[in-house]
A and B are shown apart, each in its own frame.
Chain A
């Protein structure tokens, strides 16, 4: 039976899709049969970030409304045998997903997969609520920045009160914090919230810290999940996060400023 993991944030543009793609690909690479589902109906992007946009025939909404079987809509990744993508519809709106329909599709996928990773849309409206409703675990993606942390706090509250688990009084959704776009230099300068500051406010366990890295843009240009870029720091940070998700104890990396000589440090500080 698959575990359902929702990647959510409240605030938009913090790195949910980037993270869902990388965690999904990382889990698949670790041998887990994984499907990543795009819940961002009307603004689908997961297909682009994962590099399968030209192979989309049917989508999530077709499966729920149009009698298309879920197997017909699943796209198998070209790089990893264990990885599948269920794209969102680009032409419908967020109301196209109804709770019973989504529940049915998830139940079916649960039989076949080890992990179901749900890429949530931004906001706290219907689409985001739908993406988190069925979650067993949630990855709250935040940037070290005031509005993102505040919105994360809201989404944590919503996970605690509006998920299926909360409604049924079962064990609460297990939550993880994924801090992305972290810039150790700016943290050291005192201009960016540090990991501990964010943890103190949000008070959920830390899954990982993903540094700000140019590779994220270039990887998205060609449709490669960042986690597969082995030599990049963001890629390695995502690999570590996957290991932690699988229950392994891995130390945090890339949270200290990179060592440079005093002169370039000085230049950077005064920039």
Chain B
């Protein structure tokens, strides 16, 4: 019996748990986004409902997207391939399941605290101290499980996806603790400019050192598997990995170019934002060359289709990001909907797509049953694709109107009616994404809980 054969289907409890977590919370997260978008069109809609004012809905939306949908989705695929590529078992499936439970408790606490107005009021770091501790603990458990599994591996070589997954877990555990200033439980913040620098160090790392490496790791696994061909170059993939570690870790200050932070920090941030082209292109060239001439196989597998689309989105978001880090460009694009457009290509178009792709790829393999409905998954794909491309176009236009108006010294009340239409279209696109989340949850839940062998 080979090592891989000893990995039984029952072994994937952790991955399955994260699968369901992601699918369920995607509904909640996108609903909150839709609610927020509606409030931007009709602010009076939730006028007398304190818990649902925009200021509470928005942080609930972003935190749920980050920690409820994208991260668990990526972790689901990661917990599936981690032991497989290392040719061993996961160190502790029990610990993994415990992590999933703790993770969901953390998410419930997040919603309850944020909607009841308990917040630390720092962007992406809104969660209060007890919830912060839960997040750090969850990541500590993941790190432990990952490292112990690596130690017990029978395959001496560590595949690039494992490097990415381990880096994401370790770096997020550290930057989350640091960026949320967890040694100051009541405020969760430093004061003044140092706090802004620390916050954005964390804020960007949550995308750059959590979502990005997990997504890249999943793509590096799913694409070669789906097309049944080796990776174009493992050396290039490692180069990309180390370049990301060197470059991505300190570009947070590009969020603060128009703030009086020390110039050297801005210079580091800008130079490294441009240098991001290296890890980004190392990954993209590698994955696209791997898939070259085999797009048919990508298209045939719904998981790979999501993942591959995510890599294309990664190209757009990264090139756009490097441009946005230039002060001249940011004079127009900062503080308006342009950035929101960028955020959605990144988090939904890139990480979200890859998270869903990972889920759809591993789900039939770990349950041993075919996907409940390929049609539904395809339908979800198109809803999301239309939604995210639409978001990008609409929010970019709205952002340019706002940015130019600001540069020209126009007052806000004259600009708001000009962008109203775009806000309405944005909400309409949000409906598509929310519906897609409901369909996705149904499909995933049915696949998991369907009786063993059905017809077809």
Q: Do A and B belong to a common assembly?
A: no
Give residues in B with beta carbon < 8 Å to A.
none
